[in-house]
Amino acid sequence: MTSRLFSIACLALLSALPGLLNAQETSAKEDERMNALMQQDFVYREPRTRITVGVRMINSGGKVNFGNLGERTAAAVAPASEGAVDRVYDNGTVFADALRSSERDANGIQVPLTGGRYTVKDADGKVVQNLIGYQTGATRNWNGKYDAQTEDHEGYVGFNTYSAISEGASVAKEQGATGGIELTLTQDIGRLGRRVYWGLAAGVTLNGINAKSSGTIAATLRKQSDYYKILDGSSVSMPYGTPSFTFLFDDAGNFVNDSGYETTAVLSSTPDTALSALTDIAGGAEVKGNWQVKGAYLMVKVGPTLRTQITERIGLTASAGFAAAYAGTRYTVLETFKIPAMGDLELKVEDPVGSTQTKFLSGYYADLTLDFLANDRTGLFGGLTAQQLDSYDQRLSGRTAKIDLGSAVGVRGGVSIRF
């Protein structure tokens, strides 16, 4: 009985063997097919988050239009109503006078004058100097630079302060290619197809701003003139500085020394208000200048992305969206004014020569990125970038600078990390 059952079981197994073999073959083919599908559908198994760190080079750092150039504020000079005070002009100085130590006696009182002069003796009582004494309303302490200062009014010395009024001159400078750094985070969110993902990208970039220009322009020259009377009728030849001396002889005509007799021309201590004048000369100032705007901007960009995996290692991503930038710049000026009517007189700007400005700007961007996977986590990327940002204005002592970051295109590249 047992042998019969065993025989029946063997016959049943043998009859089922073709089906089992067929099932096993079908299972192996299915596994092979699934593996092939998984190999083709590698995108599904990739990490969804990418960080890229790299550099970028854009074709333009912006354009700066420097405007209203050629401004100079005149140095402040005290009016005649303030009496005998120090006055500093662009072509000389007139200082308040006071008693010299040599013309005070032991009590500090001015020694007697003879014909407006006094003498200084040595220990042996010999006269060694013959000097001009101090007079109220007069000054012996002044200097001038140019012959033209004695030509306007006979018997007077003229002193001037100069300012310049812009005639609207402007200079434009466009910065060339500029490099920067960037950091971008991309997150895949959903699929539009087996190999196409959509998602979001956010990043920051830092680029410099440096526009510098130089040139020569014309400006209106404003001349403030004050005139001081020569009280002793002396003849003055410029340049002139006080005190001045010549040879000293004693009463017998004997030579004492070569700088003992004072010849200083004495001026009134305040200007003659009837002669003071303010004159504007169109184009009278030749301005040589260097103008610069330098700084940087930090741009934040946010927008949607589309990514497709071309091969297992090569992918292509496109992104476009909103951009916002925080820009900070310093505007500096170095200007020299040449006054043709005063020979070689050159005046530098004494105004504040620098101003700073910060500004938030808006715009948009677009990136196209090709990435190559070196392994499961890291790779390299490169691509194209474009951006558009607003402009802003900056001022410095009447001058203007319009900084237009405008449109720029460039290339970018670096390292990518997936996780």
Mean pLDDT of the chain: 87
Q: Which amino acid is at 152?
A: D
pLDDT at 2: 42
Tell me which residue has tokens 């500029």.
178
Average pLDDT over residues 215-224: 92
Taking the mean position of all CA atoms in its chain, how far away is CA 217? 20
Q: Return d(Cα 176, Cα 193) in angstroms, integer.
A: 42
CA–CA separation, 61 and 329 (whole Å): 13
pLDDT in tens, 178-205: 999 999 999 999 988 888 999 999 999 9
Which residue type does 295 have? G
CB 266 within 8 A of CB 141: no
Segment 365-387 shows an average pLDDT of: 95
Segment (H or E) for 26: helix 2-40
pLDDT greater than 60 at residue 13: no
Tokens 């630079």 map to which residue? Answer: 145
Degrees (nearest 5) of the Cα angle 331, 335, 336? 170
Residue 336 binned pLDDT confidence (cut-offs 50, 70, 90)? confident
Among 11-20, 81-90, 105-114, 153-162, the range scoring the smallest mean pLDDT is 11-20
Residue 29, pLDDT score: 55
Does pLDDT of 122 surpass 70? Answer: yes
Which residues share a beta bridge with 139?
A: 267
pLDDT of residue 144: 93
Residues 380-385 have a mean pLDDT of: 97
Predicted pLDDT at 148: 87
Task: Judge contact between 274 and 228, C-beta under 8 A.
Answer: no
Higher-confidence residue of 352 and 9: namely 352
Give the pLDDT confidence of 259-312 residue by residue, as tens digits: 899 999 999 999 999 999 999 989 888 888 999 999 999 999 999 999 998 998
The answer, yes or no, to whether residue 218 has pLDDT greater than 80, is yes
pLDDT at 384 > cutoff 80 = yes
pLDDT band at 386 (very low <50, low <70, confident <90, very high): very high
In the chain, what is the straight-line distance between the N-terminal and C-terminal CA atoms, in Å?
Answer: 68
CB under 8 Å to 198, separation ≥6 — which residues? 188, 189, 190, 191, 192, 304, 305, 306, 307
With residue 384 as reference, give the H or E element that holds it.
Answer: strand 378-396
Question: For position 195, what pLDDT does the model report?
Answer: 84
pLDDT confidence band for 323 (50 / 70 / 90): very high
Tokens encoding 51: 């960080």
Q: Is the pLDDT of residue 229 over 70?
A: yes
Neighbours of 12 (CB within 10 A): 10
Q: Please give the pLDDT value at position 14.
A: 37
- Rounded CA separation 419/405 (Å): 35
Residue that wins the pLDDT comparison between 233 and 321: 321
Question: Per-residue pLDDT for 105 more than 70?
Answer: yes
What is the structure's pLDDT at 349? 67
> Which residues face 229 on adjacent strands?
156
Please state, in angstroms and as integers, the Cα–Cα distance from residue 274 to each residue in 80, 94, 153, 227, 277, following that order.
11, 18, 12, 9, 9
Query: What pLDDT, on a 0 to 100 scale, did the predictor assign at position 339?
Result: 77
Please give the helix or strand (H or E) that residue 94 lies within, else none.
Answer: strand 92-94
Confidence of residue 26 (pLDDT cuts 50, 70, 90): very low
Residue 258 CB neighbours (<10 A): 10
pLDDT of amino acid 381 = 97
Predicted confidence (pLDDT) at residue 58 exceeds the cutoff of 50: yes
Q: Which helix (H) or strand (E) holds 127?
A: strand 127-132
pLDDT at 1 (0 to 100):
43
For 78-92, write each residue's pLDDT tens digit.
999 999 999 999 889
Whose tokens are 């504040």? That residue is 352
Q: Could you give the CA distance from residue 101 to residue 108 in angstroms, rounded to a whole number? A: 8
Q: How far apart are alpha carbons 52 and 187 in whole angstroms?
A: 12
pLDDT, position 352 = 57
